[in-house]
Amino acid sequence: MNSKILVPLDGSALSEKIVPQIKGLAKAMQADVVLYRTETGSVSMGRAGVSAQEILQYASDIKCDLIGMATFGRGKVAGVIKSVAEKVASHAAVPVLFLQVRDLLPPKSAEKTFDDRTSWCGP
């Protein structure tokens, strides 16, 4: 019987950036990947607890061997996702692997605009 890796996704493109890395890990482990869509990214902090509980329950139901989650630090949504990730990690009966993902936009501190027609990115 193959191992199972559960990957909770919040519906954002950024959260789905973890999938190629998890597929590579699954291939090496000869494991199956189970994608589980949650609503975490578009809800309030109160809903974050329910999402963590849902993830943990689903992990138990499918008897997964590992939970892989994307993490990223950006704004209010990141706080909700961090909250869910922390709850999953602290209550999971199986190991939890966090992979940090980033978008391709430069950090706000690196972007300097000279006028309406010209912008510059860099230190």
Residue-wise pLDDT for 58-93, tens only, equals 999 999 999 999 886 554 445 555 578 888 999 999
Instruction: Name the residue among 98, 104, 101, 123 with its Cα closest to residue 112.
Output: 123
Pairing of strands 111-113, 119-121: antiparallel
Report residues of the chain scoring pLDDT below 70.
1, 39-50, 72-82, 103-123
Give me the phi and psi of 115, to 5 degrees please: -160, -170
Domain at 3-103: CATH architecture: 3-Layer(aba) Sandwich (3.40)
Strand-pairing partners, residue 99, are 70
* pLDDT (0 to 100) of residue 105: 54
* pLDDT (0 to 100) of residue 68: 95
